[in-house]
Chain A
């Protein structure tokens, strides 16, 4: 890809310049302090050199002002770095409201990416230029870590939880995608590429051959097959709470605690339904652990997200199920 000795990674996301600026700043500050010490040591050693070992140095035992100075000044400088780095961090971990969501699962030793429209791919991730993308992912076995150096983003994939990264690609091209958390024999083979495309090319790619049902439609199908529909009636009269318009909302639990209905809560409620019962409902739901795999879970979540805030059936999900193509991704609900 590159010839010679690369010294600096490409900047291919909106976040990369922010991280790099911080990097240059910290490099400059630390180089400054290193120079002070190195020059101090060199100058003193040369100036006060004595070949005999028979002379003694000056009777200096310390200086409180100096001690305070070289404690307090570095402290404030490090607090400056801390503040800046924390701001960058919060930008890195807080995705904006409107993102293109892509689901992913890591397992030894591959990454599977699932686009909402139904297309899925292995060890390759196609994304459009200039649009914020959020990748929501988990692991099917051990820890992994989704790392795209050119975007300066990384998060661990943890079995039993969802993690996410977000970025806005700013440069068309193909970039490395690594697993950064050691995961066994072929850890170093768990790599792939991110392909950043012009939005038109991306649409063409997305609608190109081999596409299947959208995630929401697939989720709706599962919702029927698994019998969820028998209890989670839309009007709320079933044995389980209605799920319509619930995504992102707050729910009161039987214990009196409240919980925000997000990806993790839905996942938990499918796999261990007794853990956080919604107030007013009995512990009647069976566990779906071992019945529903990670990809189906993500489809179910996407289906629940696609349910509109009002009590109507999700037209978008049905439409894209029929067409199997590029309905705008269901999103923008209260997140």
Chain B
């Protein structure tokens, strides 16, 4: 298939004007637009994190004032959660490869898809404007009544930024759901769908059902703050804890928006490089749906010390343990997939192993926090900070990089430097536990989160954590460097560099504007390595 007759028309070179990119309806180009936006947000969020970690190397507040510190960790949280973690995998990888994987020419609503990106941009600009014009100091959680009555910062503008960005997420979910229902190639039955598509489907469910709740909640916060509605103000008969219920009714499922798509990526990468069927296809597929559904029933585990009834705490603790089971099932299935494989240790699976290791720690430490008797001590300490970073950065971001390295040759037609990439994977895998491992210990020692100054005895562990963070920073920077370099000097990748099954590998790299010359017809499952003669590029 490697034709060298004429420069082939690809989605990249079909038109080259800036306007052709900014007004594109091609899901692949929109995926690249997301990559640009998320990269900027990740860089900013990373700079905010660096400021926080540098400040915390000494117990005194010496680099930043207390108010600046509070604005810094808030900016870090808002930027990373709403503009990196939520859109990163669905926006970039989902957009780029999902239509290819199901054999479609595009998503169901290409214009809506472009609108989703613009909504995220507008939300991002609002948030940036809020940060530049004085910042916001409530933490990304916006707890009332601090956010509604006390904070002298740009709560309203930030809230509106997130409100707008939320619609991006809702519309993407809607678009993906319709696409997966209606746009599958002939023969692509539900149980032949790649597991990444199942994961995106489960994610779409959460995006569509959950995101309106945060939108309403933030709107109520704005009404309370601007017009004094009294929804959350106890002096007017409101209830400040109500905000927490509403906030976590979205924000806990939001964690599954962040982690389900990377889980799907891992299912793809592990099967591809084990050269065999995934172990327990339907269990992996349905565990995604189970996580999406049960994820809506555990929100109050963020409120165990917020004055809820002990009996309701008991119910939510039980459900939180229950939601851990489908994640455990996935992990066991991935491990079992390796059994009797022909494991080809190419770069993407290094990142996938990194995901497994870090997600394992993140998931298992979640059991500590689901345990009522332990959560009383651990709640709002650095243990929680460490736990969710292991899930959301160790898991979600590592999973994203596994996917980005897996599909980069497809997206760009180029290979990156595999030695540097493995080195970066090792840097991140080592830097990560160094950064967040000490925070588990700090948390059990009792160091509360969001502390600008702290008692002297916590310093050594904080310095260790900051040192680890600098290794992480080197690792992440390295990725950007060799990926950019690959665009310039990277080896040509060919249609199927990983000798993988899956429709996305049957078309050229980078794909033509319409994805497939001929609509593919699917006759077997997604991972039939043992049956199929592999097409080598």
Chain A interface (Cβ within 8 Å of chain B)? Answer: 1-2, 4-9, 18-19, 22-23, 26, 29-30, 33-34, 37-38, 40-41, 44-45, 48-63, 66-67, 70-71, 74-75, 78-79, 81-82, 84-94, 108, 141-143, 145, 147, 149-150, 152-156, 158-161, 163, 176, 178-189, 191, 272, 289
| B439 nearest CB across to chain A (Å) | 13
- A307 and B101 alpha carbons, distance in the complex (Å): 75
Asked if B329 lies at the interface with its beta carbon under 8 angstroms from chain A, I say: yes
Chain B residues whose CB sits within 8 angstroms of the CB of A85 once the complex forms: 317, 370-374
- A19 and B328 alpha carbons, distance in the complex (Å): 25
Asked if B435 lies at the interface with its beta carbon under 8 angstroms from chain A, I say: no
Within 8 A of A (CB), among B56-79: 61, 66-67, 70
Chain B interface (Cβ within 8 Å of chain A)? Answer: 61, 66-67, 70, 137-139, 141, 143, 145-146, 149-151, 234-235, 237, 239-241, 274-283, 304-307, 310, 313-314, 317-318, 321-322, 324-325, 328-329, 331-333, 335-336, 338-346, 353, 356-357, 360-361, 364-365, 367-368, 370-374, 376-377, 379-381, 441, 444-446, 448-458, 460-461, 498-499, 529-531, 534
The A contact surface, by secondary structure, is mixed
Given the known inter-chain contacts A6-B445, A19-B374, A54-B499, please indicate yes or no for A70 contacting B329, CB distance below 8 A: yes
Inter-chain contact B373/A158, CB cutoff 8 Å: no
Among A1, A22, A26, A61, contact of B277 (Cβ-Cβ < 8 Å): A61
Chain A residues whose CB sits within 8 angstroms of the CB of B281 once the complex forms: 61-62
Inter-chain contact B364/A33, CB cutoff 8 Å: yes
| B281 nearest CB across to chain A (Å) | 7
Given the known inter-chain contacts A70-B332, A82-B318, A189-B453, please indicate yes or no for A141 contacting B150, CB distance below 8 A: yes
Given the known inter-chain contacts A6-B457, A159-B145, please indicate yes or no for A30 contacting B338, CB distance below 8 A: no
Given the known inter-chain contacts A9-B446, A62-B283, please indicate yes or no for A88 contacting B373, CB distance below 8 A: yes
Chain A residues whose CB sits within 8 angstroms of the CB of B373 once the complex forms: 18-19, 22, 84-89, 91-92
Inter-chain contact A44/B444, CB cutoff 8 Å: no
Chain B residues whose CB sits within 8 angstroms of the CB of A88 once the complex forms: 372-374
Inter-chain contact A86/B372, CB cutoff 8 Å: yes
- A183 and B374 alpha carbons, distance in the complex (Å): 23
- A284 and B137 alpha carbons, distance in the complex (Å): 44
Nearest opposing residue in chain B for A58, CB measure = B340
Inter-chain contact B454/A188, CB cutoff 8 Å: yes
- A149 and B383 alpha carbons, distance in the complex (Å): 13
Given the known inter-chain contacts A26-B367, A82-B318, A90-B310, please indicate yes or no for A53 contacting B380, CB distance below 8 A: no
| A9 nearest CB across to chain B (Å) | 5
- A307 and B277 alpha carbons, distance in the complex (Å): 75
| B108 nearest CB across to chain A (Å) | 31
Chain B residues whose CB sits within 8 angstroms of the CB of A152 once the complex forms: 376-377
Given the known inter-chain contacts A142-B145, A142-B146, A160-B234, please indicate yes or no for A53 contacting B498, CB distance below 8 A: yes
- A59 and B525 alpha carbons, distance in the complex (Å): 13
Inter-chain contact A62/B379, CB cutoff 8 Å: no
Inter-chain contact B342/A56, CB cutoff 8 Å: yes
* A-B pairs with lowest CB-CB distance, top 3: A149-B446, A88-B373, A57-B276
Inter-chain contact A40/B342, CB cutoff 8 Å: no
Inter-chain contact B275/A53, CB cutoff 8 Å: yes
Given the known inter-chain contacts A57-B276, A180-B381, please indicate yes or no for A82 contacting B306, CB distance below 8 A: no
Among A5, A48, A187, contact of B338 (Cβ-Cβ < 8 Å): A48
Most buried by B among A1, A84, A142: A142
Chain A residues whose CB sits within 8 angstroms of the CB of B283 once the complex forms: 62, 67
- A19 and B379 alpha carbons, distance in the complex (Å): 13
Inter-chain contact A38/B357, CB cutoff 8 Å: yes
11 contacts between A and B (CB under 8 A): A6-B445, A7-B445, A9-B446, A26-B374, A37-B356, A50-B275, A54-B534, A84-B371, A89-B376, A155-B376, A184-B151
Chain A residues whose CB sits within 8 angstroms of the CB of B372 once the complex forms: 85-86, 88-89
Inter-chain contact A41/B445, CB cutoff 8 Å: no
Nearest opposing residue in chain A for B452, CB measure = A188
